[in-house]
Amino acid sequence: MPINFNSQNNVIFIETKNTVYAMKLLHDKFLVHLYYGEKGKFDINLHNSWMDFSPDYNTWRNLVPENLMTEYVGFDSGDWRASSLRVKNKYGQSNVFLDYVGYRIFDGRLPLGDLPSADADENTQTLEISLIDNLTNLSVKLYYTVFPDSDVISRYAVYENNGESALTIEKSMSLTVDLDNCDFDMISFYGNWDNERNFERYHIRHGLQSVYSRRGMSSHTLNPFFALVSPDCDENKGHAYGFNFVYSGNFLSEVEVDHLNHTRVQIGLGDEKFSWLLEKGESFITPEAVMTYTENGYGQMSRNFHKFIRKHILPPEPFNCRPVVINPWEAVWFDINEKMMLEFAENAKKTGMDMLVMDDGWFGERHNDRAGLGDWFANKRKFPDGLKTFVDRVKAHGIKFGIWVEPEMVNPDSDLYRKHPDWCIHCVDRPRLFSRHQLVLDMGNEDVINYLKETFLKTFDGVALDYFKWDCNRPLSQTGSAVLPAERQGEAAHRHILGVYKLQKWFKETYPNCFLENCAGGGGRYDLGMMKFSSMIWTSDNTIPQKRVKIQYGSLMGYPAATMSCHVSNRGGICEDAKQLKFHGDVALAGAIGYEMHLPKASDEMKKSITNQINAYRKYEKLILTGEYYPVINPFLNNYSAYYYMNEDKSEILLSFIQFAPDSGKKVLVPVIYADENAVYIDENGKEYAGKELINGMEFICDDTDNNSDVLYFKKK
Ligand code: GLA
């Protein structure tokens, strides 16, 4: 069994295939953390020191809260490191002191209300630890769910107010882990619109470092995924802890090195834009956080998460294989009409694509980004015979059809806003701040959700849709809600995200045969919460291959290739340049390929090249989307990158070398160290390679361009 309580020494063990997590119960009252890491490398004795200047647990003077490693810590109760839970009581005091009450272990897991969470399988077990704050009678239950095969453990907490008075949660964390070491580099992913998930590595220092979002979305700016690795850690060796949050809104992840060189890691909703009123009898479920550990480098850490996400997070898909899409957005912007879309459909079919996605501009008076959001009915001038007839005409070309929506948003210049100006997130009596000329609808307001459901049902009635691209093009500011009383305003951002999840769930249930792709101005919600509803995310609006190499490298560190939609686009003028097309295509071959260009204007020769590109992708698709990813060369440290996909039995390998900045004459050796050393591989030209040869490395030569690439496929003989 993965979870065990050893009553002789009062230690609870949680085991995955290669790791162990251990905690200990002291004096039947205090729950302390012992260890998280590789198996067989720790002792179960508590290393604990007394200090004159710190409060202790009176009866047990050798127990000093601020020196102990812990599982979950209250506020201002002798441990001054970052707290897991701060709750204001009827005296206006926020002190929380948590005592152990009991535990239980069960197979599977419990649902997390409206929150997305990982699916259990037959090996999943859960540990429930009950704690109590005796003064307020607040019950805190900690949940540890173990996914043994992928070496992942998840955490969340449930608070229940069993006392007589209302309480206010002021800070809430889902995961707290104290590591008995501080010699770590932190790897986190910063960015911006059009430039997401840049790799950044730095040694952690005493005190607090954090990644977070206050934007109401997980954001382009700092992704919730981060890692702590030993200084010698690289793709293949060294200790690596990975952490992530199954959530799409504001978050706070804290890494704090203390006076005894422990490192406290925390992930949760934080406190900056969050508070929650917990009336007598009410409960609150925190979102789920996940962690993994390996001693085999951050490549293995990524593969642990990839396996876990593919198996336990991503939803089932409606099609046997991913459709290759043509999306005309960057070719025509808002300037769309039926005739032009049908031309795209016809050309897409001829070129071997599977689906036309009609992007922004099809609804209301949406002729630019200043108007129309919220008015979700097809524009009559653009589609004189209605949406249904138009889509039937698209389908007559023998391809699928997808449509763009941005349900959470409203333009002030829309019928919806004129009718319901208070349906948007805003602060009373303050001027409203626009971004891309739009405001965010308050998805915590049931009326908003009901309006959206009714409108989409009407507009899409009888329309043969296959796909939704769900966009979200601005962050939340002035996060107030017209439907919440004053004392609940701190709940607005979290309630908003819960509403988004509710509506996404409704979409999936109402249109079960449609594929849902999430997008947020590109990759502004590239997170595990969104991935629970859509197995593919718009990676970035940036499709320039020289930039994409880095965005994709950063994305792949935390998320599997199947989640990345990778588009070959007009940028760089590829409709006229075969070499550019090849480079775009080689870079896009790291995920699910698609196209964004003016296809009807492309020459026959270019269309032929695209057809060949799609055929090649079809050959490698399964390997990319379901195989294991092995990063070899980091593009943030070089002018080139290299990586490969390999299936579990090592019978197929797809090796990519991408040089995106001039480095003329440089010879680069790319070792495929996980290839089967006893096998003979054969490439697409029939040339044979001993497994050992691949392990030693394939050589690539850089040139003086910024678009030199090679993708090599090997199959076991
Ligand atoms: C966002 C998306 C784009 C496109 C536009 C439409 O920026 O990321 O792909 O859909 O919105 O307005």
Report how far ligand 1's centroid is from the alpha carbon of 523 (Å).
10
Radius of gyration of the chain (CA): 26
Token pair recorded at residue 638: 């070089």
Task: Return phi, psi of residue 142, to 5°.
Answer: -100, 135
Report how far ligand 1's centroid is from the alpha carbon of 552 (Å).
19
Report how far ligand 1's centroid is from the alpha carbon of 422 (Å).
25
277-293 in b/e burial notation, b at 16+ Cβ within 10 A?
A: bbeeeeebbbbbbbbbb
User: What mean pLDDT do residues 162-189 have?
Assistant: 98
CA-CA distance, 253 to 213, in Å (whole number)?
9
* pLDDT of 366 strictly over 70: yes
Question: Of the residues 330, 362, 519, 542, which should be mutated to test ligand 1's pocket, given the most ligand atoms within 8 Å of the CB?
Answer: 519
Atom of ligand 1 nearest to the CA of 369: 12
CA-CA distance, 609 to 580, in Å (whole number)?
11
Report how far ligand 1's centroid is from the alpha carbon of 706 (Å).
27
Report how far ligand 1's centroid is from the alpha carbon of 371 (Å).
15
Report how far ligand 1's centroid is from the alpha carbon of 28 (Å).
56
User: What mean pLDDT do residues 514-526 have?
Assistant: 98
**Which tops the pLDDT comparison, 235 or 61?**
235
Atom of ligand 1 nearest to the CA of 359: 10
Residue 705 CB burial class (10 angstroms; 0-12, 13-18, ≥19) = middle
CA-CA distance, 105 to 119, in Å (whole number)?
17
CA-CA distance, 607 to 599, in Å (whole number)?
8
pLDDT of residue 158: 99
CA-CA distance, 61 to 244, in Å (whole number)?
37
Tracing tokens 């197979």 back to the chain, one arrives at 107
The protein residue with its alpha carbon nearest to ligand 1, atom 11, reads 521
CA-CA distance, 547 to 551, in Å (whole number)?
7
**Active site residue: 133, 354, 541, 676, which one?**
541
State the sign of the Cα–Cα–Cα–Cα dihedral 159, 160, 162, 167. positive
pLDDT of residue 493: 98
Under CATH, which architecture does the 3-313 domain have? Distorted Sandwich (2.70)
CA-CA distance, 328 to 341, in Å (whole number)?
8
- CA neighbor of 255 nearest in space, from 213, 199, 207, 288: 207
* pLDDT of 535 strictly over 70: yes
pLDDT, tens digit, 9 for 90 and up, residues 283-321:
999 999 999 999 999 999 999 999 999 999 999 999 999
Instruction: Give the number of residues written for the chain.
Output: 717
**Active site residue: 354, 360, 471, 527, which one?**
471
* pLDDT of 47 strictly over 90: no
* pLDDT of 466 strictly over 80: yes
Q: Is there a catalytic annotation at residue 541?
A: yes
Token pair recorded at residue 337: 């009409």
H-helix or E-strand spanning residue 444? none
Report how far ligand 1's centroid is from the alpha carbon of 135 (Å).
51
CA-CA distance, 59 to 611, in Å (whole number)?
76
User: Could you tell me if 571 and 330 are in contact, meaning their C-beta atoms sit under 8 angstroms apart?
Assistant: yes
Domain definitions of the chain by residue range: 3-313
Question: Of the residues 332, 333, 358, 359, which should be mutated to test ligand 1's pocket, given the most ligand atoms within 8 Å of the CB?
Answer: 359
DSSP assignment of 412-428? SBSHHHHH-GGGB---T
Atom of ligand 1 nearest to the CA of 404: 10
Question: Of the residues 404, 406, 571, which should be mutated to test ligand 1's pocket, given the most ligand atoms within 8 Å of the CB?
Answer: 404
Helix (H, G, I), strand (E, B) or coil at 175: strand
* pLDDT of 56 strictly over 80: no
User: What mean pLDDT do residues 34-40 have?
Assistant: 92
Token pair recorded at residue 543: 């499709």
Report how far ligand 1's centroid is from the alpha carbon of 471 (Å).
7
Q: Which amino acid is at 232?
A: D
User: What mean pLDDT do residues 37-64 have?
Assistant: 73
The protein residue with its alpha carbon nearest to ligand 1, atom 7, reads 521
CA-CA distance, 224 to 219, in Å (whole number)?
9
Question: Of the residues 541, 567, 571, which should be mutated to test ligand 1's pocket, given the most ligand atoms within 8 Å of the CB?
Answer: 541
Lowest pLDDT segment from 137-151, 463-477, 565-579: 565-579
The protein residue with its alpha carbon nearest to ligand 1, atom 2, reads 521
Helix (H, G, I), strand (E, B) or coil at 24: strand
The protein residue with its alpha carbon nearest to ligand 1, atom 1, reads 521
pTM of the model: 0.98
Tracing tokens 């050893």 back to the chain, one arrives at 6
Share of the chain above pLDDT 70, in %: 98
User: What mean pLDDT do residues 536-550 have?
Assistant: 97
- CA neighbor of 350 nearest in space, from 598, 610, 573, 620: 610
* Rounded alpha-carbon distances, angstroms, from residue 466 to 183, 355, 402: 50, 9, 5
Token pair recorded at residue 520: 């947020």
CA-CA distance, 440 to 476, in Å (whole number)?
7
CA-CA distance, 209 to 205, in Å (whole number)?
8
* pLDDT of 10 strictly over 70: yes
User: What mean pLDDT do residues 660-678 have?
Assistant: 98
* pLDDT of 571 strictly over 90: no
Place 48 in a pLDDT band, splitting at 50, 70 and 90: low
The protein residue with its alpha carbon nearest to ligand 1, atom 6, reads 360
pLDDT of residue 577: 84
pLDDT of residue 233: 98
**Which tops the pLDDT comparison, 370 or 64?**
370
Contacting residues for 455 by C-beta, under 8 A, at least 6 apart: 376, 377
pLDDT, tens digit, 9 for 90 and up, residues 188-219:
999 999 999 999 999 999 999 999 999 999 99
DSSP assignment of 570-616? STTTGGG-HHHHHHHHHHHTTSEEEEES-GGGS-HHHHHHHHHHHHH
Summary mean pLDDT of the chain: 96
Helix (H, G, I), strand (E, B) or coil at 617: helix
User: Could you tell me if 620 and 636 are in contact, meaning their C-beta atoms sit under 8 angstroms apart?
Assistant: no
* pLDDT of 714 strictly over 60: yes
User: What mean pLDDT do residues 30-52 have?
Assistant: 78
Tracing tokens 């109401």 back to the chain, one arrives at 216
Task: Return phi, psi of residue 497, to 5°.
Answer: -65, -35
Q: Is there a catalytic annotation at residue 335?
A: no
DSSP assignment of 314-329? SPP-SSSSPPPEE--H
pLDDT, tens digit, 9 for 90 and up, residues 701-713:
999 999 999 999 9
Which residues line ligand 1 at a C-beta cut-off of 6 Å? 329, 359-360, 404, 471, 473, 519, 521-522, 538, 541
Cβ atoms within 10 A of the Cβ of 557, count?
A: 25
Report how far ligand 1's centroid is from the alpha carbon of 522 (Å).
7
Tracing tokens 């992530």 back to the chain, one arrives at 244
Atom of ligand 1 nearest to the CA of 521: 8
Residue 1 CB burial class (10 angstroms; 0-12, 13-18, ≥19) = exposed
Atom of ligand 1 nearest to the CA of 538: 8
Helix (H, G, I), strand (E, B) or coil at 68: coil
**Which tops the pLDDT comparison, 571 or 222?**
222
Which contacts (CB < 8 Å, 24+ apart) does range 618-625 have? 618/321, 619/713, 620/589, 620/645, 620/654, 620/713, 621/321, 621/322, 621/592, 623/647, 623/652, 623/654, 624/561, 624/589, 624/590, 624/591, 624/592, 624/654, 625/322, 625/561, 625/562, 625/591, 625/592
- In sequence order, the β-bridge partners of residue 413 are 371
* pLDDT of 59 strictly over 80: no
Report how far ligand 1's centroid is from the alpha carbon of 163 (Å).
48
Tracing tokens 């010698």 back to the chain, one arrives at 232
User: What mean pLDDT do residues 97-125 have?
Assistant: 97
Report how far ligand 1's centroid is from the alpha carbon of 473 (Å).
7
Share of the chain above pLDDT 90, in %: 94
Helix (H, G, I), strand (E, B) or coil at 497: helix
Contacting residues for 126 by C-beta, under 8 A, at least 6 apart: 3, 105, 106, 107, 108, 109, 110, 143, 144, 145, 146
User: Regarding beta strands 680-683 and 667-670, do their DSSP bridges make them parallel or antiparallel, or are they unpaired?
Assistant: unpaired
pLDDT, tens digit, 9 for 90 and up, residues 125-150:
999 999 999 999 999 999 999 999 99
Atom of ligand 1 nearest to the CA of 520: 8
Token pair recorded at residue 193: 């619109």
- CA neighbor of 240 nearest in space, from 296, 320, 192: 296
CA-CA distance, 108 to 288, in Å (whole number)?
15
Place 54 in a pLDDT band, splitting at 50, 70 and 90: confident
- CA neighbor of 264 nearest in space, from 96, 68, 21, 94: 68
CA-CA distance, 437 to 365, in Å (whole number)?
14
610-628 in b/e burial notation, b at 16+ Cβ within 10 A?
A: beebbebbeebbebbbebb
* pLDDT of 46 strictly over 70: no
Lowest pLDDT segment from 81-85, 109-113, 174-178, 572-576: 572-576
* pLDDT of 572 strictly over 60: no
